[in-house]
Homo-oligomer: A and B are copies of this chain.
């Protein structure tokens, strides 16, 4: 496994970080975990996906170190690795929303221009 803490240019670490986030299921998992630790069963109930698919994506997050898993009896509970993560998800949500709104406005302008 390639370490995520290797001495690597910062811009490459950033690219890897964003790539780790770049999957719909992983995004949803992180946002759900912002509410607090959750057993796999609950994640599975909220995200419509096969258990093994979810597990694959949880594996990516675990390997990156952004979440941790703890076995509790017969179930496994996932948790965000640190408080930064939830701040990150909030920032991402805000920024993307602004960007999407901006794009929508731009699109509206273009369509208005089309019809004239």
Contacts and interface: CB of A to CB of B under 8 A. Distances in A.
Interface of A: 4-5, 9-19, 21-24, 26-28, 31, 65-66, 81-82, 84-85, 87-88, 91-93, 95-96, 98-100, 102-104, 106-107
Nearest to A99: B84
Copies in the complex: 2
Given A9-B24, A24-B9, A103 B4 contact: yes
A68 to B, nearest CB: 10
A17 B99 contact: yes
A26 to B, nearest CB: 8
A13 B104 CA distance: 13
Contact of A99 (B11, B12, B82, B104): B82
